C-alpha cells in the first residue's frame, strides 16, 4: 500500500486542525462596562497661605442634584458622596505641598443612563494626588491662590453584568482662587479645571482582554464660592460649587465642607504681609538730656 505524506509525518496536519480553533478564539466580541467614578470637585483651597509648618485636612463633598448624560457613550455611575483627607507641608513663604487621598462611594451613585444595570460590587473608587499651591499677594487683604495637582484614580468596573474588576486612569486639576481675608474670616471664589474619568459603555475586545478600560476624557470647569473661619489653628471651610457639563456627564451642584488643623509652629505671611522696607525707630519722648554720658572703661 502506498503511504501518503500524512502517514509518514502526521504532525503536518496539526496546523489544519488548529486553524478553526484559533479563528474561533481570536474572533472579536463586545464587553459592556459600568463603573463608578468621582465627580469633579472644586480645589480644596481658600487662596491663603499656610501659617504653620503642617496641616491635616478632612473633606466631605455631597452632590445635591441628579446627574445626566454627557456627550460620550459612557457607562458610568457618578458618586454623590465623596470623602477626602490631605496632609500638607509648608515649603516656605506662601507655597505648600500636599498629598491628597480621595474616596468616591459606590452606594447611592447616579447612573448617567437607564440601561447600566446594577452598580459595581465594590465600596468605592480610590484616588491619590500630589498637589502644590502658592498664594500671591495682590493687596493688604487680597490674595490670588494658584494650584496644580496630579495623580490617579482607581475605578471599580462591572463587566457584562457579571464580575467586578478595577482599572486606573491618570487625573489632574488646575485652579485659581481669589480671596479676601479680614481677621479670622476669609471669603473666596474658585475656578478649577480638572480631568474627567470615563468608562466606555461597550468595548470590542479579543482573547487578550483581561481588564476593563478606564481613561481620562478631556476636562471640565468647576466654579465655586465659599468662606473659611480660622481660630487657634483650626480652620472650617464651606463652599458651594457647580461643575459644568462635560463629555462624560452633566454634573449637579455640590456642597463642599472641610476642616483643617495647623500645627508645627513657624508662622508664614498671612493676608497682610509685612512691609519690605525697614521701619524707623520711634523718637524718644521728653526733652533731650543735657547730662553728658560717662565713658565706660
DSSP states of the chain: -PPPHHHH-GGGGHHHHHHHHHHHHTS-EEEEEEEEEPPP---S--SPPPSSSEEEEEEEEEE-S--EE-SS-B-EEEPSEEEEEEEEEEEETTEEEEEEEEEEESTTPEESSTT--SPPSSSEEEEEEEEEEEEEE-SSSEEEEEEEEEEEEEEEEEETTS-EEEEEEEEEEEEEEEEEEETTEEEEEEEEEEEEEE-BSEEEE-TT--S---EEEEEEEEEEEEEEEEETTEEEEEEEEEEPP-SSEEPPPEEEEEEEEEESS-----SSPPPSSPPPPPPPPSSPP-SPPPPP-
Which pLDDT does position 160 carry in this prediction? 82
Provide the grid cell at 55: 496641616
> How far is the CA of 61 from the CAs of 9, 123, 193, in angstroms?
71, 17, 17
Total-model pTM: 0.79
> How far is the CA of 221 from the CAs of 23, 173, 178, in angstroms?
47, 10, 16
Pair 165, 154: CB distance under 8 Å: no
Furthest-apart CA atoms within the chain: distance in Å: 143
The total number of residues shown for the chain amounts to 297
Return the HEC string of 63-94: ECCCCEECCCCECEEECCEEEEEEEEEEEECC
Provide the grid cell at 199: 468608562
Enumerate residue ranges in the chain where pLDDT < 70: 1-26, 161, 207-211, 266-297
Domains of the chain are: 28-263 (2.40.160.20)
Which pLDDT does position 296 carry in this prediction? 42
Pair 61, 84: CB distance under 8 Å: yes
Which pLDDT does position 274 carry in this prediction? 45
Place of cell 522696607: 277
Q: Which of 180, 177, 85, 187 is nearest to 133 (CA)?
A: 177
Residue 151 phi/psi, 5° resolution? 180, -145
Pair 151, 122: CB distance under 8 Å: no
Amino acid at each position: 500500500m502506498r503511504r501518503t505524506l500524512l502517514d509518514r509525518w502526521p504532525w503536518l496536519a496539526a496546523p489544519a486542525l488548529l486553524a478553526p480553533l484559533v479563528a474561533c478564539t481570536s474572533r472579536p466580541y463586545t464587553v459592556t462596562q459600568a463603573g463608578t467614578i468621582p465627580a469633579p470637585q472644586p480645589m480644596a483651597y481658600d487662596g491663603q497661605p499656610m501659617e504653620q509648618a503642617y496641616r491635616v485636612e478632612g473633606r466631605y463633598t455631597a452632590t445635591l442634584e441628579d446627574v445626566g448624560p454627557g456627550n460620550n457613550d459612557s457607562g458610568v455611575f457618578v458618586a454623590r458622596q465623596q470623602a477626602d483627607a490631605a496632609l500638607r507641608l509648608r515649603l516656605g513663604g506662601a507655597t505648600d505641598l500636599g498629598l491628597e487621598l480621595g474616596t468616591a462611594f459606590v452606594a447611592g451613585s447616579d447612573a448617567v443612563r437607564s440601561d447600566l444595570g446594577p452598580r459595581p460590587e465594590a465600596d468605592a473608587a480610590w484616588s491619590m494626588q500630589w498637589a502644590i499651591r502658592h498664594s500671591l499677594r495682590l493687596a493688604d487683604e487680597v490674595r490670588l491662590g494658584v494650584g496644580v495637582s496630579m495623580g490617579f484614580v482607581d475605578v471599580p468596573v462591572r463587566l457584562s453584568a457579571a464580575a467586578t474588576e478595577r482599572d486606573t486612569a491618570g487625573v489632574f486639576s488646575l485652579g485659581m482662587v481669589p480671596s479676601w481675608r479680614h481677621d479670622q474670616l476669609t471669603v473666596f471664589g474658585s475656578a478649577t479645571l480638572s480631568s474627567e474619568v470615563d468608562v466606555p459603555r461597550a468595548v470590542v475586545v479579543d482573547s487578550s482582554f483581561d481588564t476593563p478600560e478606564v481613561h481620562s476624557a478631556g476636562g471640565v470647569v468647576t466654579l465655586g464660592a465659599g468662606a473659611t473661619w480660622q481660630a487657634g489653628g483650626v480652620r472650617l471651610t464651606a463652599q458651594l460649587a457647580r461643575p459644568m457639563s462635560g463629555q462624560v456627564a452633566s454634573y449637579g451642584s455640590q456642597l463642599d465642607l472641610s476642616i483643617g488643623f495647623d500645627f508645627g509652629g513657624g508662622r508664614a505671611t498671612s493676608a497682610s504681609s509685612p512691609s519690605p522696607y525697614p521701619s524707623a525707630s520711634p523718637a524718644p519722648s521728653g526733652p533731650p538730656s543735657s547730662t553728658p554720658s560717662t565713658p565706660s572703661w
